[in-house]
């Protein structure tokens, strides 16, 4: 059982998510909860080399105000199969009420079959702040100035 106090995450199960395990933290210190694929039982979603696919999770995630969900790849899938998230980290907004989906891409050289319940990615719940956006005419002075992209040397 989790003994950390984070925000409550309400998960609304969609009909095609019936029977798919809830996203879960696999170890006590895991930063991300694993997301499972809600593809059809006998209909694996096959991603050919170089192709991408939007994989359903079967859940709406109601993320608390002041937080976001970050969808990130699993290193094991990346290392073993060249499977990663194309838009990593994917951003799930706290006001989003659609199904969370995972955009996978196959960088490997073989077809990859996503099967029902397969752990395809992980989601971190992270605090966010919104900036107060103000247009200004001049940038303030700093020691760095406009130096960047290696300006401090190696």
Minimum distance between the CB of residue 98 and ligand DUT, rounded to whole angstroms? 6
The correct pick among 92, 104, 118, 125 for binding ligand DUT (CB under 6 A) is 92
Q: Is the CB of 46 or the CB of 103 nearer to ligand DUT?
A: 103
Q: Is the CB of 71 or the CB of 108 nearer to ligand DUT?
A: 71
Provide CB contacts within 8 A for 72, sequence distance 6+.
Answer: 32, 85, 88, 89, 90, 121, 122, 123, 124
Q: Does 71 help bind ligand DUT (rule: CB under 6 A)?
A: yes
Q: Does 93 help bind ligand DUT (rule: CB under 6 A)?
A: yes
Q: Is the dihedral of CA 11, 36, 102, 123 positive or negative?
A: positive
Q: Does 126 help bind ligand DUT (rule: CB under 6 A)?
A: no
How many chain residues touch ligand DUT (CB under 6 A)? 11
Q: What are phi and psi of 17, to 5 degrees?
A: -95, 0
Q: Which residues pair with 127 in a beta bridge?
A: 67
Minimum distance between the CB of residue 127 and ligand DUT, rounded to whole angstroms? 16
The correct pick among 23, 56, 90, 108 for binding ligand DUT (CB under 6 A) is 90
Residue closest to ligand DUT when measured from CB atoms: 90
Report the C-alpha gap between 145 and 142 in whole angstroms.
5
- CB–CB of 80/63 below 8 Å? no
Task: Tell me how long the chain is.
Answer: 154
Residue ranges that bind ligand DUT, judged by CB under 6 A = 71, 87, 90-93, 96, 100-103
């Amino acid at each position: 059982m989790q003994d950390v106090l984070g925000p409550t995450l309400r998960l609304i199960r969609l009909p095609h998510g019936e029977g798919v395990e809830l996203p879960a933290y696999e170890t006590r210190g895991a930063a991300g909860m694993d997301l499972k694929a809600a593809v059809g039982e006998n209909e694996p979603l096959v991603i050919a080399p170089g192709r991408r696919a939007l994989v359903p999770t079967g859940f709406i995630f109601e993320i608390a105000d002041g937080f976001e969900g970050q969808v990130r790849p699993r290193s094991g899938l990346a290392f073993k199969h060249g499977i990663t998230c194309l838009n990593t980290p994917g951003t799930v907004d706290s006001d989003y009420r659609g199904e969370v989906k995972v955009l996978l891409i196959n960088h490997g050289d073989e077809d990859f079959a996503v099967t029902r319940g397969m752990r395809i990615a992980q989601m971190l719940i992270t605090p966010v702040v919104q900036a107060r956006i103000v247009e200004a005419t001049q940038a303030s002075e700093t020691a760095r100035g406009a130096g960047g992209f290696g300006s401090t040397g190696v």
